[in-house]
Structure 1
């Protein structure tokens, strides 16, 4: 690929995923990723601080969830605001054209302890960001924490279903159902 082609971060992520699948995460270098993407090492480091970050969204998911919570109707309760945010995430970030990449990415993450740890930290940050967004809507601290935590759990459940090979349903409906199931399970406790 020529260096002038657009979407360097996307090209780097695709190249990294291919190489991580072919050679393993530990056996892949930043230089190899950049070369596979048709870019330079310095271009890689303009977009990512290290190779661990190349498969993570640089805050895109968090931003979409926070914006979705903020734009929920003023009358929406905390979990309804989270549900609106999950819907927005499904319409944009988890569109159908990302399903195959997301499933492959998750398989690479699952195979590597360092990447699983990074993903866990990202989910903690995601939950904290949702708590802050709910607080800005006037939701009290404990309620915001519970709603954000349940939202993160619903997101994880829906994502696992969405990348499943036997599923063709969109992320948004899966997330809504997962949130309803989490809500119902909480009521039974």
Structure 2
């Protein structure tokens, strides 16, 4: 693969996941990843801080989610605004074309406790960003926090279902179902 080809970040992520699955996360180096992608080590570090960074690109996810929450209709409830934001991720990050890549990512993370811990931190950061985005919409602090926590649960359920073997449902549809399930559960409490 030529070094000048576009999508270096995506190529590095794909190469990393291939190597993590083949050799294991611990036995894969940044140099291995760059070589598999046909890129220089310096290119890797222009896109990622370290090899964990390949698995945890939360900045883009947070930016898209917060933007979509802000764009939700004024009359949307806090959870509806969050569900809209999560659904928007299905149009860019959780697409059918990326499903295999994201599923491999989940398998690598689930096999390593330290990566699972990092994933938990990522979700906590994302949840805090959701609460701030809701507060920016004028939602009161406790309500924004509760809606953000419920939104994290919606994301968890949708993500788990989307990455299940044999699932072909779109991420946006799964978010809507998970949000409905969460709303029903809250009414039961």
Please say whether Structure 1 and Structure 2 have the same fold, judged by a TM-score greater than 0.5.
Answer: yes
- Are the aligned partners of 2:58 and 2:122 in contact in 1 as well (CA < 8 Å)? no
The residue that corresponds to 1:167 in the other structure is: 167
Deviation beyond 4 Å, 4+ runs, structure 1: none
Secondary structure at the aligned position of 1:91 is classed as: coil
Match of 2:177 in 1: 177
Structure 2 residue aligned with 1:7: 7
C-alpha distance in structure 2 between counterparts of 1:184 and 1:19, whole Å: 42
Q: CA RMSD in A?
A: 1.0
Unaligned ranges ≥5, structure 1: none
CA contact (8 A) 1:103 1:163 kept: yes
Question: How many angstroms apart in 2 are the aligned matches of 1:92 and 1:7?
Answer: 15
Question: Could you tell which deviates more after superposition, 133-142 or 1-10?
Answer: 1-10
Output aligned runs, 1:70-85, within 5 Å: 70-85=70-85
Q: What are the within-5 Å matches in structure 2 for residues 131-146 of structure 1? A: 131-146=131-146
What is the CA–CA distance in structure 2 between the aligned matches of 1:25 and 1:91, rounded to whole Å?
29
Counterpart in the other structure of 1:103: 103
Q: Is the 8 A contact 1:64 1:88 kept in 2?
A: yes
The aligned counterpart of 1:43 is 43
Superposed CA offset, 1:35-94 (max 9, x none): 101111111111111111112224121111101100001111101111111221112221
